[in-house]
């Protein structure tokens, strides 16, 4: 066993635990948004990813994402986490297994984000099959292309902590899945209100806490880069929170806790890709602009095209991730991440007068969106083929997915109408 930096390992294991906590946080965030008769199903749709994502990652996910030198996907040399640390530890710091643990948490939460777009109408068994196939055909190849030595990384595309791999991929996939599945019953006729606003805020708070591990942990060590990513992450989240509240005050006259929670999650998602590459002042701009951009898509574009992205997974993560990729091409600076030849900022952003990085960031959005669209359509087709149908029946939708899918009730003493 080669010698390792124990301080770096301690930080990375801590960051990994923080990122794992984000998936239960997402369960509360999404669960509070839906009707009370669907809260268990919605939370389950995030929670089961911890089990599925972990086992798939150990069996094939890490190997397909990070082994080999392929342009588009890895090989199965590390199937079942069959690693030789003394040979491979230098490639992924602080050592290969620690790196694999940290990256596993990303693979868990990413498909969970998609579930927000199909909430309150997708069969649990269909979601299980869909998530399995989606991780294999979308997530693992994209992680390899961006972080595992694939062609996007070789092109110099920057994604510090998952703006492309996590947010753009899940957001675009969420939109495709929502359109394929169709709207909820009475979509466009009835208004949907969060049934438990404190759940929403609790979930958003857990996400914020975990996001420091998500972004600062992506430095791979307890170093200056982790410190820088930590402060840019917090700055963007805070700025987006305040700008969302300002929008609500202007539009409705009343700022809300749901709006505050949405803004902070949006700001964190948006800066993810840029957090290790941009100045702190740029993170402020990124967060301030994230809210009006996403608000426009959620309140105007969504209504114009009439798609039922139930919990705005595309509006927040897809649009936020796209803006984050663009912002990285605008504000990235060579001085912040000179870690290695593949991960370093090779060109300054557009605001410094260079165009190469900006154009390659735009290309990366197109590639990610294309893979997400094709992969999601394939995963939905396989799920429908194996489970018969993707949607619950109209009767079960009226009854609620908690009882229909799980025979559980979150509020057994409550007998009122949703």
Is residue 296 assigned to a domain? yes
Is residue 30 assigned to a domain? yes
What's the CA gap between 145 and 368, in Å, rounded? 10
Is residue 187 assigned to a domain? yes
Is residue 417 assigned to a domain? no
Check: CB of residue 29 under 8 Å from CB of residue 265.
yes
Helix-helix angle 6-33:257-271, to 10 degrees: 140
Q: Taking Cα atoms as reference points, which of 264, 299, 269, 271 lies closest to residue 285?
A: 271
The 3-state DSSP class for residue 190 equals: strand
Q: In the structure encoding, which two tokens stand for residue 157, read together?
A: 């595309």
CATH number at residue 238: 1.10.3430.10
> pLDDT by residue for the chain (418 residues), tens digit each?
457 889 999 999 999 999 999 999 999 999 999 999 999 999 999 999 999 999 999 999 999 999 988 999 999 998 998 875 555 556 787 888 999 999 999 999 999 999 999 999 999 999 999 999 999 999 999 999 999 999 999 999 999 999 999 999 999 999 999 999 999 988 877 778 899 999 999 999 999 999 999 999 999 999 999 999 999 999 999 999 999 999 999 999 999 999 999 999 999 999 999 999 999 999 999 999 999 999 999 999 999 999 999 999 999 999 999 999 999 999 999 887 765 555 678 999 999 999 999 999 999 999 999 999 999 999 999 999 999 999 999 999 999 999 999 999 999 876 555 5
Domain tally, the chain? 1
What's the CA gap between 281 and 291, in Å, rounded? 17
pTM of the model: 0.95
Domain containing 361 equals: 6-406
DSSP string, 280-332: HHHHHHHHHHHHHHHHHIIIIIHHHHT---TT-HIIIIIHHHHHHHHHHHHH-
Angle formed at CA 408 by CA 177 and CA 309, multiple of 5 degrees = 20
Q: Which residues contact 396 (CB under 8 A, 6 or more apart)?
A: 404, 405
Is residue 272 assigned to a domain? yes
Check: CB of residue 167 under 8 Å from CB of residue 283.
no
């Amino acid at each position: 066993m080669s010698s390792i930096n124990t301080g770096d390992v301690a930080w990375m294991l801590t960051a990994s635990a923080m990122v794992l906590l984000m998936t239960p946080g997402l369960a509360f965030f999404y669960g509070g948004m839906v009707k009370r008769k669907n809260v268990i199903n919605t939370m389950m749709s995030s929670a089961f990813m911890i089990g599925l994502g972990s086992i798939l990652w150990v069996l094939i996910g890490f190997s397909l994402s990070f082994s080999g030198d392929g342009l588009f996907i890895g090989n199965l040399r590390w199937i079942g986490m069959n690693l030789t640390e003394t040979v491979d530890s230098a490639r992924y710091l602080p050592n290969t297994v620690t790196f694999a643990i940290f990256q596993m948490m990303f693979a868990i939460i990413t498909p969970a984000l998609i579930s927000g777009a199909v909430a309150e109408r997708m069969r649990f068994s269909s979601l299980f099959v869909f998530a399995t196939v989606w991780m294999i055909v979308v997530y693992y190849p994209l992680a390899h292309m961006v972080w595992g030595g694939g062609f996007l990384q070789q092109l110099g595309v920057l994604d510090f902590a998952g703006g492309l791999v996590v947010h753009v991929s899940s957001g675009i996939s969420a939109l495709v899945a929502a359109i394929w599945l169709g709207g909820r019953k009475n979509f466009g006729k009835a208004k949907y209100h969060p049934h438990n606003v404190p759940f929403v805020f609790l979930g958003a708070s857990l996400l914020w806490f975990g996001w420091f591990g998500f972004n600062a942990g992506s430095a791979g060590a307890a170093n200056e880069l982790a410190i820088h990513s930590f402060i840019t992450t917090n700055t963007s989240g805070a700025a987006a929170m305040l700008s969302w509240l300002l929008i609500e005050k202007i539009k409705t006259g009343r700022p809300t806790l749901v709006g505050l929670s949405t803004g902070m999650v949006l700001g964190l998602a948006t800066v993810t890709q840029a957090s290790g590459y941009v100045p702190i002042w740029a993170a402020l701009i990124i967060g301030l602009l994230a809210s009006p951009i996403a608000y426009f898509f959620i309140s105007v574009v969504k209504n114009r095209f009439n798609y039922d992205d139930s919990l705005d997974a595309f509006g927040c993560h897809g649009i936020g991730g796209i803006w984050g990729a663009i912002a990285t091409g605008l504000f990235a600076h060579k001085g912040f991440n000179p870690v290695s030849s593949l991960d370093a900022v090779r060109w300054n952003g557009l605001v410094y007068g260079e165009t190469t990085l900006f154009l390659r960031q735009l290309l990366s959005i197109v590639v990610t969106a294309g893979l997400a669209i094709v992969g999601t359509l394939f995963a939905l087709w396989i799920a429908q083929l194996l489970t018969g149908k993707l949607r619950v029946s109209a009767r079960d939708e009226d009854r609620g997915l908690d009882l229909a899918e799980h025979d559980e009730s979150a509020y057994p003493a409550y007998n009122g109408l949703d």
